[in-house]
Amino acid sequence: MITRRHVLIGASGAALVGCDRLHGSATFRDGLRVFEGLNMRAQRSLGLGQNLAREFDESQRSPTFRGNGNMRPDTPDYARLQAGGFADWRLRVDGLVTRPLSLTLAQVQASPSRTQVTRHDCVEGWSAIGKWHGAVLGPILDAAGLRDEARYLVFHCMDRFGDRSYYESIDLVDAFHPQTILAYGLNDAFIPVTNGAPLRLRVERQLGYKHAKYIERIEAVASLDGIYGGKGGYWEDVGDYEWYAGI
Ligand SMILES: Nc1nc2c(c(=O)[nH]1)N[C@H]1C(S)=C(S)[C@@H](COP(=O)(O)O)O[C@H]1N2
Ligand SMILES: [Mo]
């Protein structure tokens, strides 16, 4: 029963967020904010935080997994990293942690991993099913040792829109969700540049813009205040997207 209700709440939430993008009237958006708040509280208070997103059969995969947003960080640094096969890239995990990490791609790839075939839903109105492979985020956070004050994780990306860096954030319920992975594989190959090489977040119960590509740093913070525009993500700051994009 609860599971079914959860699915229904989630499905209507996704539809409404899509409409928000299309219509964008102030009243309509205010209504959605209330709805989104209920959606998050409903999921959390019913203890649904660890429900799994639907997984598909490999045969249901989309023929191609399109790229969206930035398709390649337009910087000399990224070009250099890519030319070197990302051997010089590092994933930093810092902020409110007891043991800051600087991991090579090989170290990320040696961490406990998971493979999942899931559907990605973008608010612009398209979906794609892909097979993702990557490091489960929880064990990496455990290795870094989150401090008690940590409440959110901020994902810092290597790409920008104008003078703003792309970034995203999630709470610790999503951070330790078993399907939350740092993906370096898509459809049995190394993840293409268009889809976020060398590492992109999969946070499967949230809409597409939460899935940060081109990650270089994960920062544990107590509050999102003062981080970039303060709303927890690039699109939340500039595009009025909801921080909680649960589906
Ligand atoms: N760093 C970064 N991450 C990003 C974006 C982006 O432009 N830059 N776009 C977001 C949006 S809106 C979507 S729908 C997905 C698209 O993922 P894809 O390129 O693998 O299709 O990435 C998300 N993560
Ligand atoms: Mo998107």
**pLDDT 10s digits, 169-215:** 999 999 999 999 999 999 999 999 999 999 999 999 999 999 999 99
Mutate to test the pocket of ligand 1, among 68, 160, 214 (most ligand atoms within 8 A of CB): 68
Q: Confirm or reject: Cβ of 104 under 6 Å from ligand 1.
A: no
Mutate to test the pocket of ligand 1, among 159, 166, 213 (most ligand atoms within 8 A of CB): 213
Q: Confirm or reject: Cβ of 234 under 6 Å from ligand 1.
A: no
CA distance 117 to 181: 12
Q: Is 160 exposed, middle or buried (0-12, 13-18, 19+ CB in 10 A)?
A: middle
Domain 4-237: which CATH class? alpha beta
pTM of the model: 0.85
Retrieve residue 161's tokens. Answer: 């829109």
Nearest-5° Cα angle at 160, 79 to 17: 130
Q: Confirm or reject: Cβ of 73 under 6 Å from ligand 1.
A: no
Q: Is 42 exposed, middle or buried (0-12, 13-18, 19+ CB in 10 A)?
A: middle
**pLDDT 10s digits, 72-118:** 999 999 999 999 999 999 999 999 999 999 999 999 999 999 999 99
Domain segments of the chain as ranges: 4-237
Q: Strand, coil or helix: what is 108?
A: helix
Place of tokens 């997207």: 241
Q: Is 189 exposed, middle or buried (0-12, 13-18, 19+ CB in 10 A)?
A: exposed
150: amino acid identity, one letter: A
Q: Confirm or reject: Cβ of 39 under 6 Å from ligand 1.
A: no
